[in-house]
Structure 1
Amino acid sequence: MSEQRRTGIILGEYKGLQVPGFDRAITDEDVMESLRRLQAQNVYHQEVEGRPVQNGDIATIDYEGFYKGKPFQGGKGSEYPLEIGSGSFIPGFEEQIIGHMPGEEFDIEVMFPEQYHSADLAGKPAVFRIYLHKTEEKIVPELNDAFAAAVSEYNTLAEYKEYLRELEVQRREQAAKNAAMEQALQKAIANAQMEEYAATEEYEALVRDAEDQLIGRFEQDLQAQGITMDQYLSMTQETMEGLHRQVHPSAEQKVQAELVLEAVAETEGLDVTEEEVEIAVAQLAAQYQVNLAAMKNALDMDALRQNLRINKAASLIADSAVEIF
């Protein structure tokens, strides 16, 4: 055991830890599952005429909702492509589109769920006036040589399958490493002594900062959906302190992992070379499609070096772990 004065914790065992084995076997069904996912991604729509809407079709509709004969807020849309059977609208809505022909205008009656987000409409009946513009059916491409040539650089499905098998092997290896890293790191955290340090104001400040980071990322996700934090808090009747309580366990786990990894890096004398820093910057520049100089200016280089050092410690723990099947 080694005392780490800088982080205020005492490391326990962190090398040679036993972790559950990860199955790396690749089957023909695994390859077919990859193909089916690609097949689903390449489904296209084709307009149909002369038949009514069926389950699974894309019905392009105008709609307007009425409660007690009066339109309500948020109940109107134009040329909306609705996949019948997707469950994206309230129960009973999509089923009543089935059987209608393009060019028809008709009403459907629905009942809003008791737990609907709008209290004014929850549990209430409504009528929607629908105009059906067009109907499209989903065309699923066949899995054959033509499909392989269209989605890859291979001319035959057999060649493409071998390529997908190799990709799956690489994916399984990475998944195995990630699983070993997570399991071994959790054991290393459990083996460390940090109760004394966890009672300090410094530790509490680290956890609070981690909470702020997690909430900040959540706020960014909300903004990507066009929702502000104030709107979210209003809709969920939540508070910022309540959000801090929700993310506290994850924040504390993040802080503890970083403390252990810092201690391992210190104990093992792990360092980061300038070449490794340059490679990391180049990879980030390529990922974000900016030049190296711009990326270097945007980065906190000290933080980057620290992250690389921490990653080395994590890899050391994972690589030394022993898988038990």
Structure 2
Amino acid sequence: MVKWEKIESNKVSLEIEIPSEKVNEAMEKAYYKLRGQFVIPGFRKGKAPRKIIESRYGSEVFNGEALDILAEPAYREAIKETELEPINQPELEPVQLEKDKPLILKVNVEVKPDVQLGEYRGVTIERVKKEITAASVDKYLESLREQHARLVTLEEGTLQEKDLAIIDFKGTIDGEPFNGSEAENYSLQLGSRTFIEGFEEQLVGAVKGEKRDLTVSFPSDYYHEELAGKEAVFHVEIKEIKRPQLPVLDDSFVQEITDDFNNIEDFRADAEKKLNEGLQKQLRVDLENRLIEQVAENCTVDIPASLVEREIDSLLREFEYYLRMQRLSLAQYARMFEGGMAQLREERREEAAKRAKVNLVLDAIVKAEGIEAAEADLNQRISELTERFKMNESLDEAREKFSHDGRLDMIKREIHYRKTMDLLVENANIVEITEEQAAAGEGSAGILE
């Protein structure tokens, strides 16, 4: 039997009653599991009767293990019966736990708050009409030429942007060297912004064999605090200059970089097609993001602080992934700034609150529209994932693995959200505007007047 009541805006208290028969069964299971831990004079270890152990250690000696046996299944069944949606771990407190009596279990838990849905069908949203131009294709092909450029050593000429300079350097502050200030035969591409501001710029125009003294200042927020805000002089010698030589954009170049095409005309047509596909996907994502934000603004909900904190954790994990590519940990990055980790969390609070609200609104629309993840949807998505991650399991094996790892519910939720976004877009009043209108601020208001 389950009773429940709301005690705060999104917190409920449940009273779960478990029959005495189940309590006695759990007590007996607890006894058999734990009896080997008790040493009773006159009995071999693990062979003392339950009554003897209880008389020596107290009648409640098996209560903790019995509660572990009973509480989790009873809580899950109560949540299913009440159709509540918890958002964090419950607080469990046994009110009554005795032999031959029902277990009375009190549970406090945060649940999803009620969402007052506003308008979500027929929302007016602007979409900027964009297409891949010939100039865009040219820029892409030029980037391919740069990727496949060959470095040619210059015996004459001066250093220019994008040149690779082989240098020796030694840095000093107030005439004294400092850690990491010296290197030989270092490869530096001008324009890469690898060094602090001003270093690379002062090398432009240098010739092979030239020596230059470069004066630069470390930023005030430089991650090595002992260098922050200080002026340094770097003594640099240009050992070698290498310049990228771009390949000719012709059939030979195409055949060198791909086996799929033999001539530049077909390769260019394919590039234009793929660029356009990528652009349309980007435009769709942008439209969906702006649409769900607008829908969320039309809705009212009290966002639980725990959900906001969870989203902050997620944002920081995403940021840490980026930091790892810079060979920094999140903890190291936090130490560079006043306020540390607390400041990093606070800076993301507003975005986290938006994310939390959007997710709550999406869940509410899923429920209102009766959106489900059908078996065919699940199987298709699982097949896509097994192919993407090159899993060797069959569909059934992959599904079992996802279920065991707790990812099947995540996949179902992903399908729910995908169907919901499709519904919102299909029912939106989409107003097409040109890039010129968007740049001039002539949105749908101006068009519809």
Bigger mean CA deviation after superposition, 135-144 or 20-29: 20-29
Deviation for aligned residue 1:51? 1.7
Match of residue 209, structure 1, among 310, 327, 330: 310
CA contact (8 A) 1:181 1:314 kept: yes
CA contact (8 A) 1:111 1:123 kept: no
CA contact (8 A) 2:199 2:216 kept: no
Deviation for aligned residue 1:182? 1.7
AA partner of residue 294 (structure 2): K
Question: Match of 2:326?
Answer: 225
Question: Match of 1:284?
Answer: 385
**Rg larger in 1 or in 2?**
2
- Residue 59 (1) aligns with residue 190 (2): no
Post-superposition Cα deviations, 1:37-69, rounded to whole Å, max 9, x if no partner, equal 323333332333x22542132012232212333
Matches within 5 A, 1:100-111: 100-101=207-208, 104=209, 106=211, 108-111=213-216
Question: Match of 2:299?
Answer: 192
Match of residue 39, structure 1, among 140, 145, 151: 145
Q: Distance in 2 between matches of 1:174 and 1:113?
A: 41
Long gaps (5+) in structure 1: none
Matches within 5 A, 1:32-181: 32-48=138-154, 50-56=155-161, 57-94=163-200, 95-96=202-203, 98-101=205-208, 104=209, 106=211, 108-113=213-218, 115=220, 117=222, 118=224, 120-121=226-227, 124-152=230-258, 153-181=260-288
Using CA pairs under 8 Å that are at least 6 residues apart, name the structure with larger relative contact order, 1 or 2.
1
RMSD over aligned CA atoms reads: 2.8
Q: Distance in 2 between matches of 1:174 and 1:139?
A: 34
Q: Distance in 2 between matches of 1:87 and 1:185?
A: 38
Q: Distance in 2 between matches of 1:121 and 1:70?
A: 12
Q: Distance in 2 between matches of 1:234 and 1:278?
A: 46
CA contact (8 A) 1:109 1:125 kept: no
Matches within 5 A, 1:229-248: 229-248=330-349
Bigger mean CA deviation after superposition, 124-133 or 308-317: 124-133
SS of residue paired to 2:187 = strand
SS of residue paired to 2:122 = coil
Q: Distance in 1 between matches of 2:409 and 2:250?
A: 51
Number of aligned positions between the proteins = 313
CA, structure 1 residues 193+30, in 2 after alignment: closer, same or farther (shift >3 Å)? same
Question: Match of 2:421?
Answer: 314
CA contact (8 A) 2:299 2:361 kept: yes
Q: Distance in 2 between matches of 1:300 and 1:320?
A: 30
Q: Distance in 2 between matches of 1:139 and 1:24?
A: 33
AA partner of residue 421 (structure 2): A
CA, structure 1 residues 123+206, in 2 after alignment: closer, same or farther (shift >3 Å)? closer
AA partner of residue 259 (structure 1): L
SS of residue paired to 1:128 = strand
Deviation for aligned residue 1:160? 1.6
Bigger mean CA deviation after superposition, 126-135 or 50-59: 126-135
Question: Match of 1:273?
Answer: 374
SS of residue paired to 1:226 = coil
Deviation for aligned residue 1:98? 4.1
CA, structure 1 residues 181+97, in 2 after alignment: closer, same or farther (shift >3 Å)? closer
Identity percentage of aligned residues? 23
